[in-house]
Amino acid sequence: MKADDLGWRHRHVDIDGLRAFVRVSTGVGKATPIVHVHGFGISGSYLMPTARLLTDRALNVVPDLPGYGRSQKPARPLDIPHLADAVVTVLDALEIEQAVLVGNSMGCSISVELADRHTDRVERVVLVAPAGGQNNVPLRRAVRQLAMDGMRENPRMARVAVPDYVRFGPINTLRLFTEMTQFPSLERLLEIRVPTLGVIGSRDPLLPGRQRVNEVATQVPGHVTLVLITGAAHAVNFSHPGELAHVIGSWLDDAPIVDDPDQPGLATVLQIPRA
């Protein structure tokens, strides 16, 4: 355990016969727990920089879902609905009735699916750098986007991500890639029924261009807030944890979201007229 992980404990949760690894921080009063949902092919390790900064406001949970990181692998990668059910199993095991979900990349799709199918278990949702959909197809395009993102991320990210991707394996990557790109992320976002915060990075090559972002923003419900962090790429939770934690904290407090001048990155709420 790292020195800055003191106060966290490690648990194992049985998910359909698979042993899943879960990181759990110390709780804070009656605050709604915050559950961090990792992305495609990677464990929850890279979400820890942001999770650590949110432990002063609530219990934080960072699982490795089945097939990822230190959790056992199923025979085939779980699809997004089953991954959402796996998160619910973690909530049940930890006796968490309702949570704030903080998803990154494919973790956003999992979070949206969970919020749609188990609305009573979700108080709010934070979608950081949503991935998937037609912007990431065909495969060669996604590979180029990932390669470009790798050059834009904090170099320390490779030490966390590469071992996870190697363990996940190329065959599982191909199997799950189609699932991720076919997930109707836009349609689900337009239908989401709980307060939602979307956070995107200005240097994220996996997201569509600003014009498309603006088009989507005009269609989202009034309870969806969109924030741009200038200077961030895809793994915002790892590269800009201070700014992201500040934005999430302000939003959870229903306070105005303004930039934290002491943290890298510039946070701006997107002021876009809605249809």
Residue 272 pLDDT class (50, 70, 90 cuts): low
Average pLDDT for 162-166: 91
Give 168-172 contacts, CB < 8 A, sequence gap 24+.
168/41, 168/42, 168/67, 168/68, 172/41, 172/67, 172/76, 172/77
- CA-nearest of 79, 275, 61, 59 to 172 is 79
The model carries a pTM of 0.93
Average pLDDT for 206-213: 74
Q: What is the mean pLDDT of the chain?
A: 89
Phi, psi of 262 (to 5 degrees): -85, -5
Residue 1 is predicted with a pLDDT of: 44
Query: Alpha-carbon distance 4 to 174, whole Å?
Result: 35
Residue 51 pLDDT class (50, 70, 90 cuts): very high
> 3-269 falls under which CATH superfamily?
Alpha/Beta hydrolase fold, catalytic domain (3.40.50.1820)
For the chain, what are the domain ranges? 3-269
Residue 112 is predicted with a pLDDT of: 95
Assess contact for 163 and 68: CB atoms under 8 A. Answer: no
Residue 128 is predicted with a pLDDT of: 96
Work out the end-to-end distance of the chain between its first and last CA atoms, rounded to an integer number of angstroms: 49
Q: For 222-233, how does the pLDDT look when each residue is reduced to its tens digit (9 = 90+)?
A: 899 999 999 999
